Amino acid sequence: MIKNDLYLRALKGEIVERPPVWMMRQAGRFLPEFRELRGQYDFFTRCQTPELAAEITMMPIRRYPLDAAILFSDILVIPQAMGMDFEMREGAGPWLETPIRTLEQVQNIEVPNVDDTLGYVFDAIELTLIKLNNDIPLIGFAGSPWTILCYCVEGQGSKTFDKAKTFCFQNPEAAHLLLQKITDTTIAYLKRKVEKGVSAVQVFDSWGGMLSPQDYQEFSWHYINQIVEALSEISPVVVFGKGCWFALEEMTLSKASALGVDWTITPENARRLTGGNITLQGNFDPSRLLSPPETIKKMVTEMINRFGKDKYIANLGHGILPNIPLENAEAFIRAVVDWREN
C-alpha cells in the first residue's frame, strides 16, 4: 500500500484534506544535483541508464514534500524505439537528421516490441519503486501522437510546426498512418509501465494548441482518446493539452481520470467547461515561480481556493523552467502542503 495516496484519491474525485501537489518536469532541470549529473552524461544516456533515471526521479523527492514522483524520461524515446535516430543537441534541443516527410518513409516505420526497445525504461521503474519504498505514487508518461509527429516531421523544435501541419494537410494518408503507428506503440509502452508498477499515466500534448479545434479533433484527440480508452481499464489516465482549453468539454466525455490545464484559462472557466465532473490539474504559470516566495504563496493559495480543494491537483501550467530558484519551487510546494480550508 502506498503511504501517501493523496494524489490517487484526488484522481478518483474523493474528498481530500488538501489538494496533492507535484510539478511537471520536477525530475531535473532546475536542481543543482541534476545539473552536476548533466555535466557527466549526455541527455539520452541519462534517459537510457536505469540507475541514472531512477536517481534523477528521486532528486526532487528528497528535497521537497511532493505527493507524487514522475519518472525521468523523455517523450522522444518512443520515436527512437520506432527507429528514428533523435539526439539532443546543445542549444538546439531535439534533432532528427532525416525528418519524416513521405508516405514511403512512414510505411517503412515499424511498431516495435517495447520490451526489446524500451526495456531500460521499465528497468528504471523497478529501481525507482525500490527507492520510493511505497511512500508516494510514481507517474509514467508519454507524449501525444500529434506532439511526437511534430518532432518527427519538423526534425527539431519549432514555434509554429508549420512543416508538421503542412505534412498533415497535404499528405493526410501518411500523417494518419504515422499517428496510428505512434499510438499503437504508445499504448503498448504505457501498458507495460503500468504492469511494472506506475500508479498513473499522463499524456502530454505539448503542441495540441497549434491546431484549430477542428484539426485538433482529427490529428490529435482522435489518437489521444485511443490511448485513454486502452489504458483507463488498468490505470488512471491524465491528459494534458497545452493551449487546448477549447477541447476540454470533449475531453471530459472521455474515460480520462483528470485533465491538465495551462495558465491561459481561469480556474472558473476550466470548471465551467468541464462541468465540475472531472479532476483538474494545474495551472500556475511556470514563469510566476520567478516571483518572490511570499507572492508565490499568496497566488498558490488563491489558485487552490478558485479551483476548490476537491477534484484538483496543484501543479504548474507547463514544465518548470531551468532558472527557478530552489526556494521559489519550495514556496510553491509548501503553499499547497500548508493550505487549510478557511
Residue for grid cell 514522475: 70
Its domain, for residue 277, covers: 6-337
Active site annotation includes 29? yes
> Does the annotation place 230 within a ligand binding site?
no
The candidate with the shortest Cα–Cα distance to 284, out of 270, 264, 268, 269, is: 264
Split at pLDDT 50, 70, 90, the class of 92 is: confident
**Residue at 127 is within a domain:** yes
The candidate with the shortest Cα–Cα distance to 202, out of 267, 298, 138, is: 138
Q: Give pLDDT, residue 39.
A: 86
> Does the annotation place 85 within a ligand binding site?
no
Per-residue pLDDT of 185-239, as tens digits, reads: 999 999 999 999 999 999 999 999 999 999 999 999 999 999 999 999 999 999 9
- Would you tell me how many other CB atoms lie within 10 Å of the CB of residue 341? 9
Active site annotation includes 89? no
For residue 283, what are the β-bridge partners?
315
**Residue at 342 is within a domain:** no
> Does the annotation place 27 within a ligand binding site?
yes
Whole-angstrom Cα distance, residue 46 to residue 73?
8
Query: CATH no. for residue 117?
Result: 3.20.20.210
Active site annotation includes 38? yes
CA distances from 166 to 76, 169, 299 (A): 21, 5, 40
Split at pLDDT 50, 70, 90, the class of 243 is: very high
Q: Give pLDDT, residue 255.
A: 98
- Cell numbers given for 147: 506532439
The candidate with the shortest Cα–Cα distance to 275, out of 295, 250, 238, is: 250
**Coil/strand/helix, residue 84:** coil
- Would you tell me how many other CB atoms lie within 10 Å of the CB of residue 106? 23
Considering its fold, how many domains does the chain have in total?
Answer: 1
R_g of the chain, CA atoms, integer Å: 19
Catalytic residue among 7, 64, 151, 189: 151
**Residue at 100 is within a domain:** yes
> Does the annotation place 28 within a ligand binding site?
yes
- The mean pLDDT value of the chain amounts to 97
Q: Give pLDDT, residue 341.
A: 86
- Cell numbers given for 22: 507535484
pLDDT at 118 over 90: yes
**Can you give the pTM of this predicted structure?**
0.97
CB-based contact 229:186 (threshold 8 Å): no
Catalytic residue among 5, 7, 18, 25: 25
CB-based contact 6:65 (threshold 8 Å): no
